[in-house]
Amino acid sequence: MAAIDTNVLIRLLTQDDRALARKAEAHLSAHAPLWISVSVLVETVHVLERLHGWDKPALLALLQASTSSRDFIYQDQPAVVAATQQWAKAKAGFVDCLNVELARSHGKGPLATFDKDAAKLPGAIGLGGR
């Protein structure tokens, strides 16, 4: 098992640079499962949304497939799975759902937030806002 950075994961998922994608695929073949940190996951979701135009259904499909894949292991995998399930039905963003689930998995809830959508998540508490 080897860890990967966001840029390797992006190449695997988007195939936007064929030469780098082949290198990423070879690394996956040699070192599967690949370990993905929470920070790499957050950055990957952001890049796929903002730079590659992936929408929520596409990102949910990716998260659901990758959390059950033998090719990838996420840091705090149960929290990632729970956040994905939460995000499927929430108005809040994926990172908000992940923050709530990470806090819960470490016994540190509820998560205090000023974000009105995040405050509606089970395991979060709203502190009001403007």
Domain ranges for the chain, please list them.
Answer: 2-75, 91-130
The predicted-structure confidence for 68-85, as pLDDT tens digits, reads as follows 999 999 999 999 999 999
The predicted-structure confidence for 18-43, as pLDDT tens digits, reads as follows 999 999 999 999 999 999 999 999 99
Q: Where are the alpha helices (DSSP H) in 33-113?
A: 38-50, 56-67, 77-89, 94-105
Residue type, 110: P
Query: Quick one: pLDDT at residue 6?
Result: 98
C-beta separation of 91 from 78 below 8 A:
no
pTM of the model: 0.93
User: 126 Cβ partners below 8 Å, 6+ apart?
Assistant: 113, 114, 115, 116, 118, 119, 120
Q: Which CATH architecture has domain 2-75?
A: 3-Layer(aba) Sandwich (3.40)
User: 99 Cβ partners below 8 Å, 6+ apart?
Assistant: 111, 118
Query: Quick one: pLDDT at residue 52?
Result: 97
- What are the beta bridge partners of residue 7? none
Mean pLDDT of the chain: 97
The predicted-structure confidence for 96-130, as pLDDT tens digits, reads as follows 999 999 999 999 989 999 999 999 999 999 998 76
Query: Quick one: pLDDT at residue 15?
Result: 97
